A and B are shown apart, each in its own frame.
Chain A
Amino acid sequence: MRNPKHTRSITGQPDTTLPRYPLDRVYACLRGSFSACLLGGVALLAATPHAHAAPPASVENGRYLARAADCEVCHTAEGGTPYAGGRAFSLPGIGVMYAPNITPDKTAGIGTWTDQQFVDAVRKGVSPHWKHLYPAMPYPAYARMSEAQVRDIRAYLATLPVSPQKTPENAIKFPFSIRGLMVFWNMLNGPAASYADDPGKPADWNRGRYLVEGPGHCADCHTPRTATFGLDGKRALGGNVVNGWRAYNLTSDKQSGLGAWSDQDLAQYLATGHADGHGTAAGDMADVVGHSLRYLSAPDIHAMVVYLRSIPPLHTAEDTVERTTPPAGDATLPQTTRGARLYASACAGCHMPDGTGRQSSFGTITGARSLGADNGRNLVQILVQGSGMQTTTGVQIMPHFAGGGLSERDLADIASFVMTHFTTATPHNMEQAVHDAKEAK
């Protein structure tokens, strides 16, 4: 599961608000568990896989996979020691959940775990003493990794400096606190298994499928959920809303998916978080690029592209946006509306009136879905929350604009202007959208 909200401290002050776990997802998931229970479902666990002689684990491979699986973001508190846990996931009505310390510390971390215990936690969501993990941990996807690969990750984690940082107790309210309920969820939606390559497909497709469905766990955000909050296989990678952000449609649909992207653009976006004509990753996706994707090898990025290309097209209205091209240059904003005036003041310093990046291409927003799709959902999110993406040349920041001299209506006006200046979208209820985004912050 992607870390929900990660507002970087872009203006110097640590952000003390807790990230929020996608509420609807958790509720749905637990509701599913109950119904399974009431139906008299029997608690059965998947059979413990038989142990077999493992080849020596590779630390290097483990580091690579840990990055591909993006472990660090969730297992690091805001501004904290990497992998020492403590990142809080606030679940309104349910409580607060903390990602555990996974450094090799013997008491605070996982230093005393056996490899098999680690493998079970990652692949089955069961930690030592049969504590079932909540599916904030994307073990159903991680199960695509082989046991050997997961042991590699373990081997890498074992090289980390130990951190004695204690993970705070989860403060989950009854009945959600009953971890055993996860058993039922697992039965319905639970761990898959690593699968063999499809011999009918090229090697890079197979590698891509593994990266996308396994460690990358892309579907966790980009696939809509079923009633029991499992991934909806019929609408795989068809886009979803997570933490108020739209995780866009990744299928091959030309209008609403990736169908119109060139291979090169897609590869560049995955590897750097930006492609001209498609904007820059923000919010959770900025974290995915910054902590995970940008470390993948070029052949692996290529493999992901190959696989994503093969996802059957699925049209989604929310991800559809039609761009318009504003006149080029630095002096082209109609100063007649408040939105345009505010854009000239607060936004043009990076994005230029025509949407091209002023300082660098990270500021180039032209063509980005976020400028109009889903009634400007991600546009509003980024105005309210800001974003930061780790790149090889530092953190690329977008400051937030909530909470100062700009009112909700000011932000709504900026969003409306952007939507109509760069796309053909028809904004509606923007002030409410800004208000909701601020409330959720």
Chain B
Amino acid sequence: MTTPTPRPTMASRRQLLGAGGALVLATFWPTMHHGRAQGAARSGGTAAEQGMLVENAQGVFAPNAYIRIAADNRITLILPNVEMGQGIYTSSVMLIAEELGIDMAQVAIEAAPPGAGAEITGGSTSVMTEWLPLRQAGAAARSMLVQAAAARWQAQVADCTTRSATIIHVPTGRTLPFGAVAAQAAALPVPQKPTLKDPATYTLLGKPQHRIDSTVKVEGRAIFGMDVQVPGQKIGTVAACPVEGGTLASMNRAAALAVHGVQAVLVNAPNNTVCVVADHYWAARKGLRALKPQWHYGPNAHVTTQTIYDQLHDGLSGPAIVANTKGDAPAIIAHAPTTYTATYQQPLLAHAPMEPINCTAHVRPDGCDIWTGTQIADRARDTAVELTGLPKEKVAVHCQYIGGGFGRRLEHEYVTQCIEFARQLPYPLKIIWSREEDLTRDRYRPAYVDQMTAALDDRGFITALTHRIVGPAVVARWDPPELTKDGYDEDLSVTTIITPYTYPAYRLEFARREAPGVVTAWWRGVGGTRGLFVVEGFIDELAHRAGADPVAYRRAMLAQNPRALAVLDKAAQLAGWNTPLPPGRARGVAVQFAFGSYMASIAEVEMPEPDNVIIHRVTAVVDCGRVLNPDQVVSQIEGGLIFGFSAALYNEITLEGGRVQQNNFNTWRIMRMNEAPRKIDVLLMPSTEDPGGIGEVGTAAAAPVLANAMAAAQGRRYRTLPLLSPRNGATGKEQG
């Protein structure tokens, strides 16, 4: 995923927020550009070297994180990234705690308020960006605390050590809790290059730590946006015109107001959404049913799924942007004795996080509070500023636990919507979307068509490759400056031209086609998920064509990439790739480099009938650099794979008359426990490279590894998602 370019800051300032004897340390680091993160990790550079500690900031200063150590020894970490299941709170705490010398259990966590444009949780970038600065922050705070204690004891800093938030003077055994010297420490200068621990001495990092949010979540005490309770709040539920671009025609306001418990019926300014406000959700829902809004469907009323696919296939010929090129691939292909072409197609997808979209807002003449789960708190705040005309500092965004992001909460239109309604009311308003609203008014992962053509040598290996992507450029809406001046969305390169393989010549083209009648958005794994299905499917086809073993064929292409080769070899070994399969089973493989991490995965499936897929086992070997919390990496791979399998097997958003036809879990199928792989084995390669992202890695692998296994089982290719779609079955074109 692409994130906005960070603004360079020279500012630094000692933060003494909530002072009164507390040490408060702020850290700042710019959010990385995703593509750059990839490049950095690939070239072995340090991805997060721009992180810095700050003091004496002038003017606007927006730190990413704070450490607050109070006199009573309470330690609070205020973190910019939102916990949406990826375990980021836990790994952030580990990073600080490791250097600071405290126990995990001694820390309380708060979500940071919006800053100056950097607080984005997405693109699997969290660990990559925080790796250095959080350790630096912990080390700096520790060094200041130790200095302060040493001064009090009139002892040598070198004689002091720390453990469990206590400074210990080793020679005498004297101790001081951190809180006791916090105020003195706060008066000391912040060391700009604090000495970091030798990784060999780590006690937390690299060792499995329990999630710090497990207990609250298991006891039902975690507050998600859905759970926010503000005194005096009422509950609203909304209906937007079911066709994008339509408007409200009429409604039966009186009938809605007659429902027991209904308080108000509201219409937003663009006149495309209604909201019924009531004492509780059920009354609001009944009110909405009585309201019976009627719509002018507008210009998109004719859009069907086929409209969108037709337009994408149309983009396979004609002009396109050349996004990346090496050598003269078209010329090589034109003269090659053998070429091979295949076209892949992928559908629109909904996010369907388990927690339906919701937002709570209280708009007053003198201020505005917003409580919601968001991956992009800044934009939530900015939309409120724009709508209310209030100054920035009067708008507070209170970030809550997120019941599933997957990119959905990188959108903030629901915050805009909530404020539009809340500003019409004197009391706080919580809007809750029904699941039907959530699915039919989502912002969807785009549909794409990809075509690849390879020139092949006599052993069946690629001598040149052209790849055309047809689809929307999500970034053009989401962050327009990030669109290249040619009109390319660099996210599309991930796993497409940025792969572990090296091609002698290639040409990547992009024919932009924005789907009519739908708003497209980021979706877990974004470019990586789109690209890997195509590229790993195609490589598998070429291996098959060459009569080569799919692992051996890939090995030959990975000679220059030891990390990729290592994960592939290890996965093949663990999955028993060269051992015979039980009757009726087949295996498929996929290799990837995305989000700064390498992975090879192997799926073992059985297909008793052509439309019945049983996934017995998935083996994944991951090299994501230095592993912070191994068990959570495993957990993300497990979950990411299952999330991806749902989409690969079942999911396709379709439109009829401009309306999305899937509207609840009866028609939007999600993989369930008895369909999930019986066994998922994840092995993490030991590595001292900087950490890569992990939240989207499994999802990107899911479709290709499954499709390749199914192809092996059925003896035909799967080029269209969802995999069980009747459209699968066509063969690739070979010329020669």
Chain A residues with a Cβ under 8 A of chain B = 11-13, 79, 335, 338, 341, 344-346, 386, 399-407, 409
Determine the distance from Cα of A404 to Cα of B649 in the docked complex, in whole angstroms: 12
Report how far A83 CA is from B675 CA in the complex, Å. Answer: 48
Interface flag for B213 (CB, 8 Å): no
Closest to B674 in A: A341
Some 28 contacts from A to B, beta carbons below 8 A apart, are: A11-B666, A11-B667, A12-B434, A12-B436, A12-B437, A12-B440, A12-B663, A12-B664, A13-B440, A13-B659, A338-B612, A341-B675, A345-B672, A345-B674, A386-B666, A399-B664, A399-B666, A401-B666, A403-B661, A404-B650, A404-B666, A404-B667, A405-B650, A405-B667, A405-B668, A405-B669, A406-B669, A407-B611
Enumerate chain A residues within 8 angstroms of B152, measured Cβ to Cβ: none
Contact B663 A11 (CB under 8 A): yes
- Cα A417 to Cα B612 in complex, Å, equals 16
In the bound complex, what is the Cα–Cα distance between A386 and B649 (angstroms)? 24
Whether B292 sits at the interface, judged by CB under 8 Å, is: yes
Add 20 more A-B contacts to A400-B666, A403-B662, A404-B668 (CB < 8 A): A11-B436, A11-B663, A11-B666, A12-B436, A12-B663, A12-B664, A13-B440, A13-B659, A338-B612, A344-B674, A345-B672, A345-B674, A345-B675, A399-B664, A401-B667, A402-B667, A403-B661, A404-B669, A405-B668, A409-B611
Set of chain A residues within 8 Å of B292, measured between Cβ atoms: 79
Residues of B within 8 A of A13 (CB): 242, 436, 440, 659, 663
Bound: A200/B300 CA distance, A: 68
Given contacts A13-B242, A13-B440, contact A404 B611 (CB under 8 A): no
Proximity bits, B431-442, A CB within 8 Å = 1, else 0? 000101100100
| 8 A Cβ contacts from B664-704 to A | 664, 666-669, 672, 674-675
Nearest-CB residue, chain B, relative to A400: B666
Give, as a whole number of angstroms, the nearest-CB distance from B728 to chain A: 13
The size bracket of the interface on B is 20 to 34
Taking the closest CB of chain A, its distance from the CB of B348, in whole angstroms, is 14
> Shortest distance in angstroms between A84's beta carbon and chain B's nearest beta carbon?
13
Task: Give B22 Cβ to nearest chain A Cβ, in Å.
Answer: 50
Give chain A residues whose Cβ lies under 8 Å from the Cβ of B650: 404-405
Report, nearest first, the 6 A-B pairs whose CB atoms are least far apart. Answer: A405-B669, A404-B667, A405-B650, A12-B436, A399-B666, A345-B672
CB <8 Å contact, A407 and B724: yes
Task: Kindly list chain B residues whose C-beta atoms are within 8 Å of the C-beta of A335.
Answer: 674
Q: Provide the bound-state CA to CA distance between A51 and B12, in Å.
A: 100
Residue from the set B437, B649, B664 with the largest chain A CB neighbour count within 10 Å = B664
C-alpha spacing A335/B614, complex, angstroms: 12
Main secondary structure of the interface of B (DSSP, over half): loop
Q: Does B597 contact A (CB under 8 A)?
A: no
Complexed CA–CA distance, A14 and B471 (Å): 31
Query: Is B114's beta carbon under 8 Å from chain A?
Result: no
Flag B638-666 by CB within 8 Å of A: 1 or 0 each: 00000000000111000000010111101
Q: Smallest CB–CB gap between A9 and chain B, Å?
A: 8
Spell out B's residues near A (CB within 8 Å).
Answer: 242, 292, 434, 436-437, 440, 611-612, 649-651, 659, 661-664, 666-669, 672, 674-675, 722, 724
What separation, in Å, do the CA atoms of A338 and B724 have in the docked complex?
Answer: 15
Output the nearest chain B residue to A345 by Cβ-Cβ distance.
B672
Q: Quick one: closest A residue to B675, CB to CB?
A: A341
- CB contacts (< 8 Å) of B674 on chain A: these are 335, 341, 344-345
Complex CA distance for A338 and B669, rounded to whole angstroms: 15
Residue of B nearest to A338 (CB): B612
CB proximity of A394 to chain B, nearest CB, Å: 9
Inter-subunit contact B662/A404 (CB<8 Å) = yes
What are the residues of chain A within 8 A of B663 when measuring CB–CB?
11-13
A401 to B666, CA, bound (A): 5
**Residues of chain A within 8 A of B724, CB atoms compared:** 407
Query: What is the distance, in angstroms, from B305's C-beta to the closest C-beta of chain A?
Result: 12
CA distance in complex: A139, B675 (Å): 53
Q: A405 with B722: in contact, given A344-B674, A346-B666, A399-B666 (CB under 8 Å)?
A: yes
Closest to A13 in B: B663
- B688 CB → nearest A CB, Å: 43
Closest to B242 in A: A13
Chain A residues near B667 (CB-CB < 8 A): 11, 401-405
The minimal Cβ–Cβ distance linking A265 to chain B, given in whole angstroms, is: 30
Residue of A nearest to B612 (CB): A338
Q: How far is the CA of A406 from the CA of B722 in the complex (A)?
A: 12
Give complex CA distance A335, B676 in Å.
Answer: 13
> Which of chain B's residues have a CB closer than 8 A to the CB of A344?
672, 674
- CB neighbours (8 Å) of A409 from chain B are 611
**C-alpha spacing A177/B358, complex, angstroms:** 52
CA distance A399 to B724 in the complex (A): 23
Closest A residue to B670 by CB, please name it.
A405
Residues on A with beta carbons closer than 8 Å to the beta carbon of B437: 12
Give Cα distance in the complex from A154 to B182, angstroms: 86
Please, which residues of chain A bring their CB within 8 A of the CB of B436? 11-13
Which residues on the A side are within 8 Å of B664 (C-beta)?
A: 11-12, 399
CA distance A11 to B668 in the complex (A): 12
Give the complex CA separation of A315 and B434 in angstroms: 47
In the complex, chain A residues whose CB is within 8 Å of the CB of B440: 12-13
Residues of A within 8 A of B675 (CB): 341, 345
A10 to B48, CA, bound (A): 51
- Least CB distance from A337 to B in Å reads 10
For the complex, give the distance between the alpha carbons of A205 and B176 in Å: 94
The CA-CA distance from A135 to B357 in the complex, in Å, is 48
B273 CB → nearest A CB, Å: 14
A32 to B611, CA, bound (A): 47
Least CB separation from B661: chain A residue: A403
Shortest CB-to-CB span from B317 to chain A, Å, is 32
What's the Cα separation between A402 and B664 when bound, in Å? 12
Q: Least Cβ distance of A236 to chain B in Å?
A: 38
* Max chain A C-beta neighbours (<10 A), residue from B434, B436, B667: B667
CB distance from A252 to the nearest CB of B (A): 38
**Closest B-chain residue to A403, C-beta based?**
B667
Contacts of B666 in A (CB 8 A): 11, 346, 386, 399-401, 404
Question: Within 8 Å CB of A386, what residues of B?
Answer: 666
Using Cβ atoms and an 8 Å threshold, which residues of chain B touch A12? 434, 436-437, 440, 663-664
* Nearest A-chain residue to B255, judged by Cβ: A81
Minimal beta-carbon separation of B535 from chain A (angstroms) = 26
Chain B residue with Cβ nearest A386:
B666
Q: How far is the CB of B727 from chain A (nearest CB, A)?
A: 13
User: B349 to chain A: closest CB distance in Å?
Assistant: 12
Report B651 CB to chain A, min CB distance, Å: 6
Separation of A233 and B305 alpha carbons in the complex (Å): 51
Closest to A395 in B: B289
Question: Which of A345, A346, A404, A406 has its CB near the most chain B CB atoms (within 10 A)?
Answer: A404
Q: How far is the CB of A430 from chain B (nearest CB, A)?
A: 14
Bound CA span A432–B434, Å: 34
CA distance A427 to B659 in the complex (A): 36
In whole angstroms, how far apart are the Cα atoms of A13 and B659 in the complex? Answer: 10
Q: How far is the CA of A161 from the CA of B404 in the complex (A)?
A: 48
Point out the residues of chain B lying under 8 angstroms from A400, CB to CB: 666
CA distance in complex: A346, B668 (Å):
11
Give the shortest distance, in Å, between A393 (CB) and chain B (any CB).
12
| Chain A residues positioned under 8 Å from B668 (CB to CB) | 404-405
CA distance A123 to B242 in the complex (A): 43
Give the residue among A405, A406, A407 with the most B Cβ atoms within 10 A. Answer: A405
Cα(A79)–Cα(B293), bound, Å: 11
Contact A405 B651 (CB under 8 A): yes
A349 to chain B, nearest CB (A): 10
Tell me how far the C-beta of B442 lies from the nearest C-beta in chain A, rounded to whole angstroms.
14
Q: How far is the CB of B9 from chain A (nearest CB, A)?
A: 47
Minimum Cβ distance to chain B for residue A333 (Å):
9
In the complex, chain B residues whose CB is within 8 Å of the CB of A79 = 292
**Chain B residues whose CB sits within 8 angstroms of the CB of A406 once the complex forms:** 669
How many angstroms between the C-alpha atoms of A71 and B724 in the bound complex?
Answer: 46
With CB as the reference atom, state the residue of chain B lying closest to A407: B611
Which among B651, B669, B675 has the highest number of chain A CB atoms within 10 Å?
B669
A403 to B305, CA, bound (A): 14
